[in-house]
Structure 1
């Protein structure tokens, strides 16, 4: 890929929704339908994508990252349809993506890794040094920027992954289990960063940790068996449960109540 030699169009654009899915179905592998008939609209803000393991969260995130294409229905990102065919390079310049697992050259320093990812995302060459420095500072790795990736702890590698996801100042930021491996202090800082980023971008955080959503997100999307169970504020999620439902907090009890109801015959999604 040849890096861009001219500035990417950064003029502000207004979208009804940064993400809109209508009847969206996505397969994980050849047969399994991991996302099944999803209707969803997300705008600027920090959105928590909650659900148990196997709910389809990662498949949905990969579809939003244009890694997977829809099997049925429609998906629009930043006003651009995402289909089975087509070149989505221009769209990907506006997206930041942290998968659960990501590859890197172990001999790269943190700075070199984030620089390389900025180059792949076609950040203008003249802008890369400042963009990289800002990204590593925002994830608390400025003092490790010139350390090799192979010397980092698991939590630091995760933070380097977050830095590469935000180096291009994305309009849509997709983070799949970003708090894995982070210690409590680092999780608190990440929550603050997510709130900050959500003021100007559509940030989607996939997690199974209810407390992360409560602390960082203004909107909750609850997902189970490939379908939408609930979308609303953390307060509305908490109000869905009662003392009879399992959980150590009102949010966990609301989460349990909605999942239990969706699993019942005739339960609403």
Structure 2
């Protein structure tokens, strides 16, 4: 069911990018600068955010969700400066966010949980039942919608988390490790959903799974030590590596090559030569 058209929907689009960062700096904790001087623009499409453990991916996602404030630089969502906005309520209506771990009332049913999140996101009351039904159907939980959250498997809880993230039809969807706990068949269906969502929204997926990026993402952002190493298509990433680089696929070899600072040839988007090689390369 389609949502009622709001004034924001009717307003002319005056921004070039849904997400735009210029020299962005964000702290994780009191001292560590987890995002350090990031310049990045993202529009409609599905963008895979890759990087080793400790690269700053989660901190970046949290800043984009307006959970963490910028410590420096500029961050704009829909052309609005996050730094200069004290009240993020209007921005959050247009954002969907799935953190790595999320809280819920265990006695809620799936439907009640997604309904509650729709209410928090200020989905118009008459539209909530249809929006909730559509969200649970899209994640394959329609037959479990009236079961309590505490009775679900870990993978099903994750799918309920994805449902709450998309219930408001967000213009920017932020997903932090969304496929954790999903079985192979569920991951394949989720990739199809990502492709569908990316046709009309800016979808940013933080993941360690290169196959998810290859199958679902139109754009790849490689992030290490809080800085941008690479931005381009999955094909560009694959072209950055060679047989001498570790990995079981061209994308993994390109990933390894860029992290090591020795890409095979010059990519049109390339690696940032000023970024040091991370010591913790993480795992796929």
TM-score, with length taken from structure 2: 0.90
- Following superposition, the deviation at residue 208 of structure 1 comes to 1.2
- Secondary structure of 1:10's counterpart equals helix
Preserved contact between residue 166 and residue 173 of structure 1 (Cα < 8 Å): yes
**Post-superposition shift, 1:166?**
0.2
User: Does the 8 Å CA contact 1:95/1:173 hold for their aligned counterparts?
Assistant: yes
Aligned to 2:244: 244
SS in 1 for 2:39: strand
Residue segments in structure 2 that go unaligned for 5+ positions in a row: 264-271, 276-284
1:9 to 2:15 alignment:
no
| Alpha-carbon distance, 1:241 to partner | 0.1
Alpha carbons of 1:247 and 1:12: their partners in 2 closer, same or farther (altered >3 Å)? farther
Corresponding position of 1:160: 160
Which residue number in structure 2 is paired with residue 194 of structure 1?
194
Q: How big is each residue's C-alpha offset from its partner over 1:224-269, in whole Å with a ceiling of 9 and x where there is no partner? A: 0000000000000000000000000000000000000079xx9355
Quote the Cα distance in structure 1 between the aligned partners of 2:62 and 2:125.
27
Per-residue deviation, 1:62: 0.1
Distance 1:53 1:41 in 2: 23
Q: Secondary structure at the match of 2:164?
A: helix
Shift of 1:187: 0.2
* Residues in 2 aligned to 1:112 and 1:244: alpha-carbon distance in whole angstroms: 52
SS at 1:9's partner residue?
helix
Q: Does 1:222 align with 2:222?
A: yes
1:209 to partner: Cα distance = 1.1
Is residue 48–residue 220 contact of structure 1 (8 Å, CA) maintained in 2? yes
Distance 1:243 1:33 in 2: 35
1:267 aligns with 2:273: yes
Q: Which runs of 4+ in 1 moved over 6 A?
A: none
Does the Cα contact within 8 Å between 1:46 and 1:198 map onto a contact in 2?
Answer: yes
Equivalent pair of 1:262/1:268 in contact (CA under 8 Å): no
Instruction: Tell me the equivalent position of 2:151.
Output: 151
Kindly report the root-mean-square deviation, in angstroms, between the aligned alpha carbons of the 2 structures.
Answer: 1.7
Q: CA deviation at 1:13?
A: 4.5
Q: Is the 8 A contact 1:210 1:252 kept in 2?
A: yes
Measured against aligned partners, the alpha-carbon deviations of 1:143-199 in whole angstroms (never above 9, x if no partner) come to: 000000000000000000000000000000000000000000000000000000000
Any idea what the Cα deviations from partners look like across 1:53-102, whole Å, max 9, x if unmatched?
A: 11000000000000001000000001111016510101100000000000
Residue 3 (structure 1) aligns with: none
Aligned partners of 1:49 and 1:207 also within 8 Å: yes
Map residues 110-149 of structure 1 onto 2, 5 A cutoff.
110-149=110-149
Unpaired runs of at least 5, structure 1 = 1-5
User: Secondary structure in 2 aligned to 1:17?
Assistant: coil
- Give the distance between the partners of 2:215 and 2:81, measured in 1 at CA: 32
Distance 1:47 1:59 in 2: 16
CA distance in 2, matches of 1:209, 1:35: 21
Aligned mates of 2:239, 2:142 — CA distance in 1: 41
Shift of 1:9: 3.1
Contact in 2 for aligned 1:229/1:262 (Cα 8 Å): no
Q: Secondary structure at the match of 1:173?
A: strand
SS at match of 2:182: coil
